[in-house]
Structure 1
Amino acid sequence: MSSNGRPKLALVAAGIGGTAVAGFGLGLGRDIYRKTKKNVELIALLLAAVFCPFIGGRGLVRGHNRGIFGTIFLTILGSLLLIVTGFCAATLLLFGILVLVGDGKTDTPFLLALLGGLVVTALHAGIGMVVGLVQRPKRLKAIAVGKFNERFLEENGFQETDGDDITHYDDSGQALRFLEAHQSRLVFMAVGRRGKRAFIDLDQDGRMVSYSGIA
């Protein structure tokens, strides 16, 4: 079974990583670390300002296979939290830039940073929502096909093992090893029966339509 408890096979069909010298080295290392640390923080803020709102906006609308709690806590609250995180990062980044560039001449750097952060966040969240809406029909279709295939496997007595030599059992108890997926069918080897194969036929959308048995 997959990590979320759903058969992987259903999703496969639907979807068709010296002392002085040492002291000098340590001191140099600390200096490099300090500079790198500052750059890492700036890079992290920049990445958060750009990608958190994008991912959050996309996650709100792209469609998910989640229950009520997953929808509330992951789809809605999780996505909104990402957008807020991006807003905070953008505001901090802009505030730092305004303070450095303005050199004390700007009276309201924080308010300007808030406004700029809001604009930047709205822009990236909006782009994410557009991307999510574009992806939504295909994702919802794949989710529906996956659910259909889950029912097919259950109704036809298939059991998934999470093993390598034996990946499934069919309704007769025959041990199977999943070999490959084609556009029109899934191919299994019948374990313990030399040269024998079994197939699950798929329609053009990846729905499982029939099981051949051992042939």
Structure 2
Amino acid sequence: MSSNGRSKLALVAAGIGGTAVAGFGFAFGRDIYKKTKKNVELIALLLAAVICPFIGGRGLVRGHDRGIFGTIFLTVLASLLLIAAGLCAATLLMLGVLMLVTDGKLDSPFLLALLGAFVLTALLAGMGIVVGLVQRPKRLKAIAVGKFNERFLEENGFRETDGDDITHYDDSGQALRFLEAHQIV
């Protein structure tokens, strides 16, 4: 028996058991990796069908600090393109599922897949819009506070530096250091 009360045989058994568990985990991970590697396009299509409409819907309404071109191109067009990409991905997924399930016995599987994809995309984009509307007031308040702070600094002659020790100079050239910030409630 060893000095801490455990036999050497128990320690060896624990080591072998740990190695067996680790080996099982590595083998399981390798199998998942092989299956994922074979289906990476399918996984990417599934993620695009779910994530793109949600992000597009959220981006439409969540509130941004952009000019007219940024609003047109980034907020509106990019969000609508994300929703359209999600619709295309969902249509391909639904069409594939319908072909597998019905063995090609449907007369118009594309229309049925398009209808299902449209419903799925509308639901996900709608969820994104709801999340964006919930986030909007806090984001707009943070944008307004940031603009107020910038205007205050400019009107009072403060200049920012890129340093860590001296972060600002006042209108008379006095070096200032920013110490702390508080969250907007």
What TM-score do you get using the length of structure 2 for normalisation?
0.76
Q: Please tell me whether Structure 1 or Structure 2 has the larger radius of gyration of its CA atoms.
A: 2
Which structure shows the higher strand fraction? 1
Identify which range, 129-138 or 113-122, moves more after superposition.
Answer: 129-138
Equivalent residue number for residue 48 of structure 1: 48
Matched, 1:154 2:133: no
Matched, 1:58 2:58: yes
Equivalent residue number for residue 181 of structure 1: 181
Helix, strand or coil for the counterpart of 1:171? coil
Equivalent residue number for residue 189 of structure 1: none
Which structure shows the higher helix fraction? 2
Partner Cα distance (2:38, 2:77) in 1: 31
Partner Cα distance (1:163, 1:109) in 2: 62
Query: Which amino acid in structure 2 is aligned with residue 105 of structure 1?
Result: K
By how many angstroms is 1:180 displaced? Answer: 1.6
Query: Which amino acid in structure 1 is aligned with residue 116 of structure 2?
Result: G
* Identical columns (%): 84
1:46-195 aligned at under 5 Å gives the runs: 46-182=46-182
Helix, strand or coil for the counterpart of 1:151? helix
What is the aligned-residue RMSD (CA, Å)? 2.1
What TM-score do you get using the length of structure 1 for normalisation?
0.66
Question: What are the ranges of 5 or more consecutive residues in structure 2 without an aligned counterpart?
Answer: 1-31
Helix, strand or coil for the counterpart of 2:177? strand
Between Structure 1 and Structure 2, how many residues are aligned? 155
Partner Cα distance (1:91, 1:37) in 2: 23
Helix, strand or coil for the counterpart of 1:180? coil
Question: What are the ranges of 5 or more consecutive residues in structure 1 without an aligned counterpart?
Answer: 1-31, 184-204, 207-215
